[in-house]
Amino acid sequence: MGIFRTGNLSSRFLRVWQRNFTVYKKIWKIGFIPPILEPIFYIAAFGIGLSVMIKEFSYRGEPISYTAFIAPALIAVNIMNSAFFENTYNSFVRMYYQKTFAAMLTTPLSLPEVISGEILWGATKSVIGTLVMQTVLTCFGLINYPEGLILPFIALLGGLIFG
């Protein structure tokens, strides 16, 4: 693997991402549950429950249902929460309880490489969660295509920012 140097950062940060991906492949079924159930619960609670009171309103002269109105917010919250949770709580568990970071730092990895790998992993989890949620929302007819194909790229950018 070629190494590009910018200060104290090299391409070795990809090994941190690879480690997290290897662990995720073993527990992926549990990771899919929240992005599948979250939009279903929110659509049931807000889309069906509140839509009785709110019904439908007009946006740019077009009628839009309350359920279609909240669908983009569900995706935005998923993008933010996936990356933020992965880079706060899960990283804390790896650092404090599992001592994973201490083990990584005994290798040639530097601290900026470990941090960069963790942020990239948080962005990856954001993309995975968004793809699952996008599939669920598509089943409800709440995603327009081909515009919806840009969502994974938005999830990657948002995951990097919120990570």
Does 126 have pLDDT greater than 90? yes
Q: What is the pLDDT of residue 62?
A: 86
User: pLDDT band at 7, cuts 50/70/90?
Assistant: low
Does 49 have pLDDT greater than 80? no
Q: How far is residue 12's CA from residue 4's CA, in Å, rounded to a whole number?
A: 9
Burial of 124 (0-12, 13-18, 19+ CB in 10 A): buried
User: pLDDT band at 48, cuts 50/70/90?
Assistant: confident
Verify cis geometry, omega within 30 degrees of 0, for the bond prior to 152: no
Looking at residues 55-74, what average pLDDT do you find?
84
User: pLDDT band at 1, cuts 50/70/90?
Assistant: very low
Q: What is the pLDDT of residue 6?
A: 52
Q: What is the pLDDT of residue 159?
A: 94
Does 119 have pLDDT greater than 90? yes
Q: How far is residue 73's CA from residue 71's CA, in Å, rounded to a whole number?
A: 5
User: pLDDT band at 120, cuts 50/70/90?
Assistant: very high
Does 40 have pLDDT greater than 70? yes
